[in-house]
Amino acid sequence: MSSTQAIGTVPRRHVGAAGIAWILVGSVSGLGLTYGLAAMHRESIVTGTTTLTPAAAVGVAALCYLAAAATRTRWVAWLGVPVFGGLAFAGLVAVLPWWTLFVLAAVVLLGVGAVLRTGQVTAVQAAALLGYFGIAIVALQLSPRLGLALAALTLAAHALWDIKHYRSEAVVMRSLAIFCVGLDLTVGAICLALAVAG
């Protein structure tokens, strides 16, 4: 590092023990999410995992990033985990399709971002939400195996977004970004394996 370079501007390249712990917590949470959604329908992970599982996970993740960007407050993303996760479960008993609650939450967050004038950072996160969650919604319209595979790959691809934010220490707390890597890759891998196994 040169003497003129500001401290803290170099992206971190190593995860360290705390990062590995967060990855493991994310992985265990991913297993719990996958099992919990299947168990809600009184089925095993093999028979009860549907496109809903990775689609809801990618929606929650994208909303967490958007919430942090819209409020300019990194820890808000952690608050979003139970709030937006609760939205996914509430959507299962609501009259409207579950994903419409996510769209409404995104609209509210965009309004918050407009009021707080968070501009470009909110626009970037909104575009990411549109891309990731948009593909997940398309996956819901496909055949069960193809939809599950597409949503699983979309969720696994979101891990790259997490890594980008972990390394740049931007938008969300590093602990959330690396936690999401574990969750995204675990749920994505389980769902992709189930889709391929048929």
> Counting every residue, how long is the chain?
198
Residue 68 and residue 74 in contact, taking contact as beta carbons nearer than 8 Å: yes
- Compute the distance between CA of residue 161 and CA of residue 104 in angstroms, rounded to an integer: 23
Question: How confident is the model over 16-32, as pLDDT tens digits?
Answer: 899 999 999 999 999 99
Q: How confident is the model at residue 13 (pLDDT cuts 50, 70, 90)?
A: low
- Compute the distance between CA of residue 27 and CA of residue 72 in angstroms, rounded to an integer: 27
Question: How confident is the model over 51-74, as pLDDT tens digits?
Answer: 999 999 999 999 999 999 999 999
- Compute the distance between CA of residue 111 and CA of residue 92 in angstroms, rounded to an integer: 25
DSSP state of 11: P
Q: How confident is the model at residue 12 (pLDDT cuts 50, 70, 90)?
A: low
The ranges assigned to domains in the chain are 16-197
Question: How confident is the model over 76-102, as pLDDT tens digits?
Answer: 999 999 999 998 888 778 788 889 999
- Please give the mean pLDDT across all residues of the chain: 91
Q: How confident is the model at residue 7 (pLDDT cuts 50, 70, 90)?
A: very low
**What percent of the chain shows pLDDT beyond 70?**
93
Which bin fits 10, alpha (ψ -120 to 50), beta or left (φ > 0)?
beta
pLDDT value for 97: 86
